[in-house]
Structure 1
Amino acid sequence: MTVPGRRSSTFIRLLRSGFTDPSAAARLLDTDALAAVRTDPVLLDALGATADPDLALLGLVRLAEAQPDGELPGLLDTLVSAKPLRDRLLGVLGASEALGDHLARHPRDWLSLVTYEAADLHPGLAEFELGLADAHDPVGLRVAYRRCLLSIAARDVCGTIDVSQTAAELADLATATLRAALRIASAAAPEDAALCRLAVIAMGKCGGNELNYVSDVDVIFVGDAAPGADEAKALQAATRLASHLMRICSETTVEGTIWPVDANLRPEGRNGPLVRTLASHLAYYQRWAKTWEFQALLKARAVAGDEALGAEYVSAISPLVWQAAERENFVADVQKMRRRVVDNIPAAQVDRELKLGPGGLRDVEFAVQLLQLVHGRSDATLHSGSTLDALHALAAGGYVGRADAAQLHDAYRFLRAMEHRIQLYRLRRTHLVPEDENDLRRLGRSMGLRTEPVAELNKAWRRHASVVRRLHEKLFYRPLLDAVAQLAPGETRLSPRAAGQRLEALGYADPASALRHLEALASGVTRKAAIQRTLLPVMLGWFADSADPDAGLLNFRKVSDALGKTPWYLRLLRDEGAAAENLARVLSAGRLAPDLLMRAPEAVALLGDPEGLQPRTHEALEQEVLAAVGRAENPEAAVAVARGVRRRELFRTTAADIIGSYGTEDNPAEEDHGALVDRVGGAVSDLTAATVAGALRAAVHSHYGDTLPTRFAVIGVGRFGGHELGYGSDADVLFVHEPREGVDEQEAAKAAQTVVAEMRRLLQLPTTDPPLLIDADLRPEGRSGPLVRTLASYAAYYRRWSLTWESQALLRAEPVAGDADIGARFIELIDPLRYPMEGLGEDAVREIRRLKARMESERLPRGADPTLHTKLGRGGLSDVEWTVQLIQMRHAWAEPGLRTTRTREALAAAHAAGLIPTEEAQILDEAWVLATRVRNAVMLVRGRAGDTFPTEARELAAVGRYLGYAEGTVGELLDDYRRITRRARAVVDELFYGA
């Protein structure tokens, strides 16, 4: 009997060793079977090192008690003297209740582990076949199978083999078992075996050499007649053999089952014949097979039966597998199938589903298989049935980023290891993470997590699942994948001849030059060239969908050369959303956006960010510019920094405009052209305001430090104040100041003049950027008047000398930079002028009409077509704006909605107030939006401002493409423009001229 003191110390030691029920463990240690070793510290330490010490000890007692007479001492001696064997045996007993049961039934099978002790051998197919050779019936096969499985599990739980090797050995054991089962079936029916040839093709994880401990083994049977036999009778015989093979593996006996053999992946599934000839298989796949069937065939491998027939089958179906991506809607079908799998998971299990759930093993497998099937058509290095081998090949070929592949590799190994240990416990087919605390504890310890096994396991599992889900979404749903899949066979790798023919067919005007660009981009064996070879076939098609494919390709080469050593550039185009298609659209849409990008190539990153094309707020822009200006060493450097921000933001705006107008496959062209115009006008105006604010800050700081002797503000007028600037618009401004308290007026005036002169100098410094000209000609007295006035001077002038046209010009006045209080007081000053009480008198109305008619006759350029001039022509911008402004000056005193600097807002307010009928308001709005879009298009295409349509055919086609017109329809564009503006002019004649 154990003395109390010793029992107490044993209890504490058992608790420290990881036993959850020390009392039960102490009783088990006191059994007669362990009498010889119960006090040996080596045994207790070894038990404590297992996944579940309580389970290991119970299994050990059962094994010891089951030993035949005279063999128990040999087992016990091994436990204390042979560490590798001890660790393997106890490791299995602590991880697998099912294998503990097997050892209790077959107590001598533990000796099979001795074979692998000395040299740490790794058995392959030949060794497993030898281990199953003596099995002549289903029961004997099960016993031999479990004995072999014991050896795999022992090396697995001790870390002698990793998760990939474990999966490969399990697949080898399954192959050996299928061969043994077919041998037993053939021996039971030798007459059937003599009639036919039968090949067993492994599919799924067995075919991919990555099997689980417990899994259905998916197979396909291929049959043929033996020489001289009748084919029909041979197929019947082969079917009987295949059916018997399946029963041998699947049926339950006193030794349980091995695993189910599932033949439902065969043609027509359960409804199709179990065995077909090779010709019948091929006929089905060529005519009837669905997308998922080719995905399943990716892992097909001949494993048993007639070797020649099996090899012939794999050779025949392989080309069909690697052509599957050319099927219509292939990528969409695979994606839809993955979503359907997730949708069918019971809601109560989805969070515990290790295989099928979001972030599970199937996410990795589907993403890898889809990439293989799309890119493997032209790259044989991707033809692997193993998920991890294929992932490595995808990374090596540049189809997946190295960092992404490494993260997926680690996550997949972790999740597969979890799956293995969950199944090993009871050798049951399950993919659900257990909920029981003890099960989770054993699982965590089996994964090497010992401090807080449950918490550590859950944390690691969720982290890896999150990585898998993120990368699955990134790789599995990226638009480039579908585009590559839609290429004709052979186009995924460009030979010079094929590329030249394709370029000509796509409409490239200079195929020879284009080929030189392709050669420069894609030649060589570098990773960069490999990724370019994946991108280019698709990019070429996107460039060809523009008015100038040659320019698009040339610009792409320039950007790629500029960013060639930047690691994120090609990775962005390959991996991130619609970045590649967005870039193709931008580079082939004209000169402005590519020119901006060439001077700031890092702005390509904006195209891969879902929020990257959203305009930034005026406050954010001004804050960035002012902060950068404050850090600059001198005013010239300050304005250069401000221009850098303007360059980047102009690219953001032009890219968003082009993509919104052209559309992409994932983002169709924006139908609300008015909203697009407003967004561009607002973005360019806010950017101009921030740039002016930066120039003002630099000018003040360079001459006066932190404090200017006078308070100073810049007022935007015209399109600037109306938030309607185009890409090539000048910035119309007024300058106003007010001396600070105690400052002499002459000193203040001199300071204000100095700041204005310095601002204009800085903004006019030579640059390759689009020009930013500030124009102060709308000031009192025009060019003859002073550039800057005090508030009091403005008040005196407007009170005494203001003309009607000056009041009209103030309709779009709004503070844009400088002292906010001065700006607000200037607006208070001018409101009574631009919104006169009781409206305009008839004399003022006649004066406005006279000025408008004079402007039409005198300012329209000589030779310009008045029906196509967007600013001064019939129904153009001037017509609409003057009509709206006349209504504002006549009625804004009574209608607050008209008190806005924005043309479209004022037009909508006039309609809401009943001042313009619905149809007429819509006609004016349509014409104004169209004319604005044409001006923006001209600047985007030509890189310089213009108020008329280009005369060069390719430029005109590019303008048409921006406006939504297909190739060859520019005539319709011009006809539509004339029709829309003619209708607008009719409304102007009625509302403005009173005709």
Structure 2
Amino acid sequence: MTLTELARLGFADLGAAGEGVAEVPAERIGNFAHVADPDQALRLLRGLLDSAPDAVAPLLADDAATLRLLRVLGASSGLGDFLIHHPEQLTVLRERMTALPDAGEIRATLMAAVGDAQGEAGWNAMRVAYRRELTRLAAWDLEQPEGLQVVDRVAAGLADLAAAALDAALALARAASRFPPDQVAATRLAIIGMGKAGARELNYLSDVDVIFVAGGSDPDGDHPVVSDERAVEIGTRLAMDTMRAIHELAVEPPLWEVDANLRPEGKDGALVRSLDSHLAYYERWAKSWEFQALLKARAMAGDLELGERYVDRVAPMVWSSASRENFVESVQQMRERVTAHIPPDEVDVQLKLGPGGLRDVEFTIQLLQLVHGQTDPEVRQRATLDALIALAERGYIGRVEAAEFGKDYRFLRLLEHRIQLSRLRRTHLMPRDPDALRALARGSGLATTSDALVEAWQRTKHAVRSLHERLFYRPLLSAVAGLPGDGFALTSAQAEARLAAIGFRDPRGALHHIAALTQGVSRRAQIQRNLLPVMLAWFAEGADPDLGLLAFRRLSDDLGETYWFLRMLRDSSGAARRLTSVLSGSRFVGVLFERIPEAAAWLESDGELRPRPLSELLAETAATVARHSGDVDAAALALRTARRREVLRLALGAIIGMVTIEELGVALSDITTAILTGALGLVHRWGDGIEFGIVAMGRYGGEELGFGSDADIVYVYRPAGASDEEAQQRAETIVKELKRLTEDMRLPLDLDLGLRPEGKNGAVVRSLESYRAYYRRWSLTWEAQALLRARAAVGDPDLLGVFEELADEVRYPASISVADVREVKRIKARVEAERLPQAADPARHLKLGRGSLSDVEWFVQLLQLQHAAAVPTLRTTSTLRALDAAVAAELVPAADAAKLRAAWIIASRARSAMTLWTAKTADVLPTDRQQLEGVARLLEYPPGGAAGLEEDYLRTTRLARHVFERRFYGERK
């Protein structure tokens, strides 16, 4: 053959290949194209032809048998060496095996191979028979068109083969025992498979983890032949000899390590114990990780009846272990320790222990099993893939995530199988050698080149690690694990009393909601049944559990079988708990969720709970107006919906603690600006005869809005082609349309014009020149004070710029007379006396009370009127920024300013919290303890924090009032 043809077949050493293929029948050479490592296959084939040509000839005479042989040789130098030393075993490759033999057949084969042999001769016979069956299994594995699809069947076959080897080794140990034959026969010894051996998911060369259990027997029913104590003594010798037969040096190489270190007390414990001794240890001394290991325990070899009794007796302890204190955290920490102890030079090539490796999948699934298996027997599976299927079917993990995890697990296991098969060595490291990687890519069928294989492996690692972190560290696990034993009995006779005990005021109604959420056989009902025991406990931690559960039911009804909602509740880091917090703490949020249920998805991401910048809001507004350019009412509806959505985002962020009160004020102002911009764009365009603008006033102007705040504004226009009369009519039409288009019964937007010139008696809209004439001739001190928070918000920028210049002339006078200062103080005193609602407690009114918002704002505004002309930093519409500027200008001592700031913040926070809690605007700190508790919880006070909030508010505002009286009124008060 030409070198080019050899290269196409996959040979790398073309010189050696050209010489070697001459010994191969020409019609068989094409089979090398289907081999993992053609060079290795050819080298081993030549070795066989040199040592046993007659044994090889029948295989080379058959094309299918040749391909079978070459696949084995190309995939495993270990099996190739075995066949060279035992060419008589080549017969195993003559016929294609259509299915893997069952465990009984394999056991019979190995027991027959041992026959009457004893000692080392028996060991060798057993090891040869084992490797013959291993060759048969590998050949079947390698000729499967989809290796990924059979990796679990191969692993089960390897486990059955290991069990048969243990049985054969135990038979040899019994035959060679020096104890009295009747006592040996009467000694029962069970070999419990642990880890991959127990789960029937063994690798080509794994340690086989076992635990030995011994017991006496009473065959006649009269007198026991051996006691348990004697059985343990004899069993210990049998166990040691069994292990020696498997892994001690002999003519035939050892098979694998028999590892008994998972036994009680590990290496320091007795190799063999009686069943009662095992149980006593697990009941009293076992650690959490030992129960995790026992999850895969299986009667594997030896006395299967005794082994099954062992498994049955430890199972209740295994499936209750998750209720131990800090169980979930201990499992998580153990996984982290495993990762931390990987040698640094191996971390990036570890298939098993490294990040994104097999252990990430296995630990995740085992933790989910142990937590949910406490009450759900369906997930009590030994094998990883079987457990994954059960977890998905029972709703503990999403079907998409389960499919992804299963695919990735098969991918990693197939790589591990092919790497270990290569030299029959126990390793979990991806090869670094390019030739080895090339052979791995060809032999696994996972990629066409080594580079593509490494790229696919890296993608798989990333996917596994990402899903592991999402599931393994989900807060729900710790909560479920910590539920009391009857925590899932939602329909038990005691459920109503229990709901009342944890804080539900209407337990009967709560049971009705629970039944509605969990009835039926839908996937949603199944997942809700899993979630609700924990979520009920979380609802109970809120201020109003009944409100939270009702809102959750409505939200669940709205979202139905929506995949992302169910996945978020089950898998997301904290989203379910956040949802219970906002639903049980805010009627305001519940009302908005009814219209925008999909907003629940934001709870999964901190970024989604942050305010959106004004530029984004305005860009969205412009797109909305453009999209609905032919339908004003449809556009207005879209704008109102967008406002509700963004206010809900802020409400969620504020409750979760993602948004400060200062950020909230700016964000709510930006949302108001966005809807007014859109509405004005619908009714006023360039060329309609006027310029039009909206000036923000009051808290809107200061960017200090809270939930439920009015939007104080004034309108201004300037003729641009139209006559004065036409311009006025046009402006009034715009104002009327703005009110109509922004009116929202669900989330009212009150456009308050009370701060316009002449107040409620003045025109709703004026021209710029009318404002100029009024302020120059008639302006009162309170109007100058009101203009301190005037800010250009929406409309024609040139017009708004000129208006702000006009406002500056009024609000920042070069000097203010003593009479005007006295007038400000007089009006403030009058506001306190006349505007405070009748019977309202001045100490509890958040807006007009002593030391509350109005005290701080009037004090700051007086400073601005007096000093802003000389101190430019005071020229700001923000109360807090102006207060900071006053401190910097040494107009107010920092200590006094801190007291005023604290009062303004706690009053502003409480005012917004009142709206969130009740879905109504209110200005008086409640005296009702339940209502006060709801507000306190929103302000991040602990349960029972109502008194703490009350005390903090009264103390903070009292201190602020002292500062206000001393510095605003002087010594008069």
Are 2:802 and 1:803 equivalent residues in the alignment?
Answer: no
Are 2:343 and 1:343 equivalent residues in the alignment?
Answer: no
Matches within 5 A, 1:397-408: 397-408=394-405
For the structure 1 residues 466 and 964, does the alpha-carbon distance in structure 2 shift closer, same or farther, using more than 3 Å as the test? closer
Post-superposition Cα deviations, 1:548-604, rounded to whole Å, max 9, x if no partner, equal 111111111111111114232212211222111111111111311100001111111
Cα deviation for residue 650 of structure 1 reads 1.2
Q: Which residue of 1 aligns with 2:89?
A: 109
The answer to which of 189-198 and 884-893 deviates more is 189-198
Separation (CA, whole Å) in 1 of partners of 2:832 and 2:306: 87
- AA matched with 1:66: S
Q: Which residue of 2 aligns with 1:695?
A: 679
Post-superposition Cα deviations, 1:937-976, rounded to whole Å, max 9, x if no partner, equal 2111111101013455533321222234444453443333
**SS of residue in 2 equivalent to 1:132:** helix
For the structure 1 residues 169 and 948, does the alpha-carbon distance in structure 2 shift closer, same or farther, using more than 3 Å as the test? same
The one of 228, 252, 255 aligned to 1:258: 255
The one of 559, 571, 577 aligned to 1:575: 571
**SS of residue in 2 equivalent to 1:219:** strand
- AA matched with 1:958: G
Cα deviation for residue 77 of structure 1 reads 3.9
Post-superposition Cα deviations, 1:415-466, rounded to whole Å, max 9, x if no partner, equal 110110011110111111111111011100012257x421221122122222
The one of 717, 742, 750 aligned to 1:763: 742
Separation (CA, whole Å) in 2 of partners of 1:897 and 1:290: 65
**SS of residue in 1 equivalent to 2:349:** coil
Separation (CA, whole Å) in 2 of partners of 1:826 and 1:256: 96
Separation (CA, whole Å) in 1 of partners of 2:872 and 2:344: 56
Cα deviation for residue 190 of structure 1 reads 5.1
Cα deviation for residue 187 of structure 1 reads 1.4
Post-superposition Cα deviations, 1:885-934, rounded to whole Å, max 9, x if no partner, equal 11222222333332221112222222233222233222211211111122
The one of 974, 978, 982 aligned to 2:950: 974
Q: Which residue of 1 aligns with 2:18?
A: 26
The one of 726, 750, 754 aligned to 2:729: 750
Check the 8 A contact 1:730/1:774 in 2, yes or no.
yes
Matches within 5 A, 1:274-673: 274-448=271-445, 452-492=448-488, 494-632=490-628, 633-660=630-657
Q: Which residue of 1 aligns with 2:37?
A: 52
Are 2:163 and 1:175 equivalent residues in the alignment?
Answer: yes
Are 2:858 and 1:882 equivalent residues in the alignment?
Answer: yes
The one of 742, 746, 750 aligned to 1:773: 750
Check the 8 A contact 1:496/1:515 in 2, yes or no.
no
Q: Which residue of 1 aligns with 2:876?
A: 900
Matches within 5 A, 1:237-276: 237-276=234-273
Separation (CA, whole Å) in 2 of partners of 1:363 and 1:20: 36
Check the 8 A contact 2:321/2:370 in 1, yes or no.
yes
The one of 802, 808, 812 aligned to 1:835: 812
Q: Which residue of 2 aligns with 1:203?
A: 194
Check the 8 A contact 1:493/1:533 in 2, yes or no.
no
Cα deviation for residue 609 of structure 1 reads 2.3
Are 2:660 and 1:676 equivalent residues in the alignment?
Answer: yes
Separation (CA, whole Å) in 2 of partners of 1:968 and 1:439: 66
For the structure 1 residues 582 and 708, does the alpha-carbon distance in structure 2 shift closer, same or farther, using more than 3 Å as the test? farther
Separation (CA, whole Å) in 2 of partners of 1:639 and 1:12: 72
Post-superposition Cα deviations, 1:745-782, rounded to whole Å, max 9, x if no partner, equal 44333322221221122223xx4312101112211222
Cα deviation for residue 510 of structure 1 reads 1.4
For the structure 1 residues 279 and 893, does the alpha-carbon distance in structure 2 shift closer, same or farther, using more than 3 Å as the test? farther
Separation (CA, whole Å) in 2 of partners of 1:422 and 1:897: 71
Q: Which residue of 2 aligns with 1:942?
A: 918
Separation (CA, whole Å) in 2 of partners of 1:566 and 1:540: 21
Check the 8 A contact 1:625/1:641 in 2, yes or no.
no
The one of 200, 205, 220 aligned to 2:211: 220
Check the 8 A contact 1:870/1:876 in 2, yes or no.
yes
The one of 117, 142, 149 aligned to 2:134: 149
Unaligned runs of 5+ in 1: 1-8, 661-669
Check the 8 A contact 1:200/1:304 in 2, yes or no.
yes
State TM-score, norm by structure 1: 0.93
- AA matched with 2:960: A
**SS of residue in 1 equivalent to 2:609:** coil
Separation (CA, whole Å) in 2 of partners of 1:519 and 1:348: 55
**SS of residue in 2 equivalent to 1:94:** helix
- AA matched with 1:142: R
Check the 8 A contact 1:573/1:608 in 2, yes or no.
no
Query: What's the RMSD between the two structures over aligned residues?
Result: 1.9
Cα deviation for residue 680 of structure 1 reads 1.9
Cα deviation for residue 505 of structure 1 reads 1.6
- AA matched with 1:859: R
Q: Which residue of 2 aligns with 1:822?
A: 799
- The count of aligned residue pairs is 951
Separation (CA, whole Å) in 2 of partners of 1:157 and 1:969: 68
Separation (CA, whole Å) in 2 of partners of 1:650 and 1:895: 36
Check the 8 A contact 1:543/1:549 in 2, yes or no.
yes
Unaligned runs of 5+ in 2: 218-223
- AA matched with 1:442: A
Separation (CA, whole Å) in 1 of partners of 2:687 and 2:357: 62
Q: Which residue of 2 aligns with 1:988?
A: 964
Matches within 5 A, 1:928-967: 928-950=904-926, 952-967=928-943
Post-superposition Cα deviations, 1:675-719, rounded to whole Å, max 9, x if no partner, equal 72112222211111111111111222xxxx664322222111100
- AA matched with 2:360: D
Separation (CA, whole Å) in 2 of partners of 1:641 and 1:797: 38
**SS of residue in 2 equivalent to 1:868:** coil
- AA matched with 1:679: E
For the structure 1 residues 708 and 253, does the alpha-carbon distance in structure 2 shift closer, same or farther, using more than 3 Å as the test? farther
Cα deviation for residue 479 of structure 1 reads 1.4
Check the 8 A contact 2:405/2:464 in 1, yes or no.
yes
Q: Which residue of 1 aligns with 2:221?
A: none
Q: Which residue of 2 aligns with 1:122?
A: 100
Separation (CA, whole Å) in 2 of partners of 1:681 and 1:193: 85
Post-superposition Cα deviations, 1:705-740, rounded to whole Å, max 9, x if no partner, equal 664322222111100011111111110012122333
Separation (CA, whole Å) in 1 of partners of 2:22 and 2:585: 85
Post-superposition Cα deviations, 1:273-298, rounded to whole Å, max 9, x if no partner, equal 21222222222222222221111111
Separation (CA, whole Å) in 1 of partners of 2:926 and 2:900: 24
Post-superposition Cα deviations, 1:238-285, rounded to whole Å, max 9, x if no partner, equal 222222222222223332221111111112111112122222222222
**SS of residue in 1 equivalent to 2:392:** helix
**SS of residue in 2 equivalent to 1:154:** helix
Q: Which residue of 2 aligns with 1:739?
A: 719
Are 2:79 and 1:99 equivalent residues in the alignment?
Answer: yes
- AA matched with 1:612: E
The one of 101, 109, 125 aligned to 1:131: 109
Separation (CA, whole Å) in 2 of partners of 1:854 and 1:92: 99
**SS of residue in 1 equivalent to 2:843:** coil
Separation (CA, whole Å) in 1 of partners of 2:494 and 2:371: 19
Cα deviation for residue 78 of structure 1 reads 3.1
Separation (CA, whole Å) in 2 of partners of 1:449 and 1:974: 66
Are 2:8 and 1:12 equivalent residues in the alignment?
Answer: no
- AA matched with 1:25: A
Q: Which residue of 2 aligns with 1:721?
A: 701
Post-superposition Cα deviations, 1:804-832, rounded to whole Å, max 9, x if no partner, equal 21111111111221123332332222223
Post-superposition Cα deviations, 1:33-68, rounded to whole Å, max 9, x if no partner, equal x4xx2x2x2x11112211111111222221222227
Cα deviation for residue 622 of structure 1 reads 1.9
State TM-score, norm by structure 2: 0.95
Cα deviation for residue 498 of structure 1 reads 4.5
